[in-house]
Structure 1
């Protein structure tokens, strides 16, 4: 009489317990790796009051004139989602036209909602825009890539200079913004984003550019270290 096998094969359609345990472990490991690699916000949430407290009032020879007169992004639900923090101020110093400033900061730039570029909000306000020119704003250390354009509406000609930072990048266009977000996501980060926009009214772009560059440099130098890091990394 033939003896039965000491280690019989499993019935058809069934998986040994050990193999199922290994497969389950591999799936759990894959899930854990995917979760660990999921992009996470690169900066802690900054409350509105805290952000506003970082923005200088008078500094150097510049005095605060008002917080009005600045062209804003369209007042809709999208703007509320784009910006955790939005600060506007107008500054003036002797011998210089009024400089209007807007700072817009968002803790998370996820690739869908990104910094709202001025080339979008000015036409909504009825302005015709010139071509955008690339410029570099010299700082105490290095420089920051920026854009400048002329916005014209009945009774108002405004020279606008701005720069944006998304994570470690300073994109000058929508395409560069998307690339910056993708690169940050691949590195495991959801980048924060900030825009600094400055402008003057009633003078030529040639005259405005050095004034706006000087203001930007002096404003950043006079800002607390925390705001400096938000602006230029």
Structure 2
């Protein structure tokens, strides 16, 4: 084969590969295909034994962290709830309409130490849901001075719950991308100021179950994925 002909074939193959990459690039955002997500109305201010505590303010993110979160997410919501027995839970939800490579999740084990907290531990766990099913979650233990704050969180990409932001996130994104879709995503964080981690995680599970049970089916899929 003459050299010019070989080069021509290689050029054709490269152009074909480039064209295929463009054709397979996802262009449709899932966030634009259904009802608009409004965190303020998506999550009830009262459910089960919990009511929003308007006298308390959820943990305030420092200005630099807030600027970063505003770049990553379209919406964020922070509320403090109090139970009938007086136990307080801080809920933080962050929603991004584009969870592609340009939109990376900002997980508690990263953002808490960035604000001066000490990270004592992190472990994968699961939440037994009312009505059946298991929700993969992550437990994180942090402290700042004499403030001990156990954290429970989970992440959704589209209608899938993931337990890490690495390969698993990439695989879920690819599964959506093959269908031409760009998934949206949520990070749901539940925490409390409590030196008793076991009690705190028990209350987090109780709170999360009652919150999810209070949501209509479509909102529940947004918050906890489809199982």
Q: Classify the TM-score, shorter chain.
A: 0.7 to 0.9
Whether 1:53 aligns to 2:44 is: no
Whether 1:217 aligns to 2:209 is: yes
2:159 and 2:222 in contact (8 A); partners too: no
Q: Which residue of structure 1 aligns with residue 151 of structure 2?
A: 160
Matches of 2:154 and 2:61, distance apart in 1 = 16
Matches of 2:178 and 2:108, distance apart in 1 = 28
Matches of 2:25 and 2:129, distance apart in 1 = 35
What's the CA shift string for 1:86-140, capped at 9, x where partnerless? 1111111133520000111111111231221111110111100122111101112
Q: Which residue of structure 2 aligns with residue 170 of structure 1?
A: 161
Q: Which residue of structure 1 aligns with residue 24 of structure 2?
A: 37
1:42 and 1:190 in contact (8 A); partners too: yes
Deviation for aligned residue 1:217 = 0.7
Matches of 1:133 and 1:96, distance apart in 2 = 28
Q: Pick the structure with greater CA Rg.
A: 1
1:132 and 1:149 in contact (8 A); partners too: yes
2:96 and 2:103 in contact (8 A); partners too: no
Equivalences, count: 203
Task: Tell me the TM-score normalised to structure 1 length.
Answer: 0.77
Q: Which residue of structure 2 aligns with residue 69 of structure 1?
A: 58
Matches of 2:171 and 2:60, distance apart in 1 = 28
Measured on the aligned residues, the alpha-carbon RMSD in Å equals: 2.4
Matches of 2:199 and 2:138, distance apart in 1 = 15
In structure 1, stretches of 5+ residues that fail to align are 1-26
Q: Which residue of structure 2 aligns with residue 205 of structure 1?
A: 197
Matches of 2:123 and 2:111, distance apart in 1 = 17
Matches of 1:137 and 1:96, distance apart in 2 = 23
In structure 2, stretches of 5+ residues that fail to align are 1-14
Task: Tell me the TM-score normalised to structure 2 length.
Answer: 0.79
Matches of 2:25 and 2:72, distance apart in 1 = 22
Q: Which residue of structure 2 aligns with residue 95 of structure 1?
A: 85
1:114 and 1:193 in contact (8 A); partners too: no
Deviation for aligned residue 1:43 = 2.6
SS of aligned partner of 2:136: strand
Deviation for aligned residue 1:230 = 0.9
Deviation for aligned residue 1:36 = 5.0
